[in-house]
Structures are given as structure tokens and as C-alpha cells.
Amino acid sequence: MGVWDEGQACRVVIGLRASAPVEASVDAAATLAAVFQTELIGVFAKEEGIVDFAGLPFAQAVSFGAGQIRQLSRDVMVQALARSEMACRRAVSVRAERARVKWSFTLESGDVQGSLETILASGDILVLSGEGQGLGARGLLEAIRAAPHGARGVVVAAREAWRGVDAGERLSGRSRKPVQAPVIVIARDGPEADEACRLAARISAFTGEPMALLAIAASDQEAARIVERGRNAAGDRATPSVYRFQPGHAQWIAATLSALGPSFVVADLQGEPFDDDRSALCLLRAARAPVVLLR
């Protein structure tokens, strides 16, 4: 039985912090929790370094849009963190209840990385925001690759996700009509393709969205094996459309992602094309949807 088969235990853990938007990442986390019928755990990291910085005499903040500069203080920053925590807790509770899954919310002191290390159990799915660190920023890749080892997969969520289906329908599981927002698998030949296709098929069956397989193959024989793996892993849950790419052409895969407008992307973190930092950043920008990177 594979990791993503029915009956396999896991939790969906989402790392939250004051400096990152939460809507897209919480939506992605709630959808995955509904797919697996498992618990959604929100972990808010109270970054004490921000409070310490605000206490410095030269600390100032600039309001977006208004361009106004205001003086910071420790009290102001503590209050701001409290508001962010409440907003994150509310977002997790609302989306979890809509998805009809159990949820919990934990407040941790310190950075996100250290906080998640204490929460994650082996096999959990970790969800991170792709916005707070900026899609295209090296810091995003560092956070993905440095994710605690307990995480079976790391999900990077971006703001433009969920445009294919109303979010309320998606999270309640009422959306069953296929739309032009496929669940995409990027795979090379190997057991990793089985894992990725199995997970994508479960997401596709839950959302009612079609499934597409982007096969990276140097030969016709290799491509045929990937397609067979994908169809066997998906079973009767989904019949994927197939697109073939030669190795070393991540830019073509990125162009296909942009054209197809996926709702989810599933791939191997250690395999092509996400094993290369430059290619990974290009693909994350092109996806504009939650990207599930398996480990």
C-alpha cells in the first residue's frame, strides 16, 4: 500500500507567520485535509526577533499605498502580532469547518522552522505560503529544502490558486463538474511517479477536476512506462491527459503550466525539474497554484 492510498494516516500542518499572507495557503491546506479526511493543524510562529527589532530607536514602518512613515515600538509590534495571530486562527477555523475536518491551532515562540520541527510527525504534509517570501525569491527555496524531515511532502501555495472553482464549493466537496483547472503531475520514470500520480488522482477525485500527466522522458519506451505508471496509479479515479517533454527543458514545462492553469501541481522535490533551483523558481512562478513537492 502506498503512502497516498486510502487509510494511510497523515496530518496537514500549515506554518503561519505575521509577515506572510494566509488565504491561499490555508485554502490549500484545508482542501488537502478534506481529501485525506485528516486533521488540519495551524502553527503560528511568534517571531520574537521582530519584537526586539521594533524596540530599537531607529525602527520605523512604511504603510503600503499611503507612504506614511511611523515609529515602531515593542508594544505596537506585540499588538500587531496578536492581531495577526487572531486573523490566522480565524482563517484556519473558518476553512476547516467549511471543509468539515478537525482542526487545531498552536502558538509557538521563535521562527517558523523551529516551531514546525516540534510539531511535525513523520508522514505529515507541510504547507507553506509562497507569497511572504516572494515567488522567485531564493529564500522560498531555502525554506522548502530546509523543511523538517518529518514532512512527507511540502506544499507551496500562491495567491492565484482556486480561480477554476468557487472556494466554498471546493472546500465543501460539492464541486464535481470538471473545469479547466487540472490537477497536474510532473514525473520521470520511477516509483516517485507512482506516488505523485496516486496523490494527484485523490485530489482530482475530490475536486472533480481533470488530471494531466507531464511526462519527462528521453525515449518513447520511457514515456510509455511513465504513462503506464500514471494510469495504474490513478486507477479508476482519473484518466490523465498526457504531455511529453524531453529532459532539461523546464522552460517548456513552465509554459505548459501557464497555459493549462492548474488547480494543483504534484511533483518530486528531489527529481527533475525541481532539483535545480533556477528551474524550480521558474516552475513555481508559472504554476500560480499550490505545488505539492513530495520527499
Q: How confident is the model at residue 268 (pLDDT cuts 50, 70, 90)?
A: very high
How would CATH label the architecture of 12-157? Answer: 3-Layer(aba) Sandwich (3.40)
What is the percent of the chain with per-residue pLDDT over 70, rounded to a whole number? Answer: 75
DSSP per residue over 163-197, as a string? -SS-HHHHHHT---S--S--EEEEE-SSHHHHHHH
pLDDT in tens, 86-118: 999 999 999 999 999 999 998 887 777 777 877
For the chain, the structural domain boundaries read 12-157, 175-294
Q: Under the phi-then-psi rule, with left for phi > 0, alpha for psi from -120 to 50, and beta for the rest, what region is 63? A: beta
* Domain pair 12-157 / 175-294, same fold: yes
> What pTM was computed for the model?
0.83
How would CATH label the architecture of 175-294? Answer: 3-Layer(aba) Sandwich (3.40)
End-to-end CA distance of the chain: 17
pLDDT in tens, 159-212: 554 443 444 455 554 444 445 689 999 999 988 889 899 999 999 988 889 999
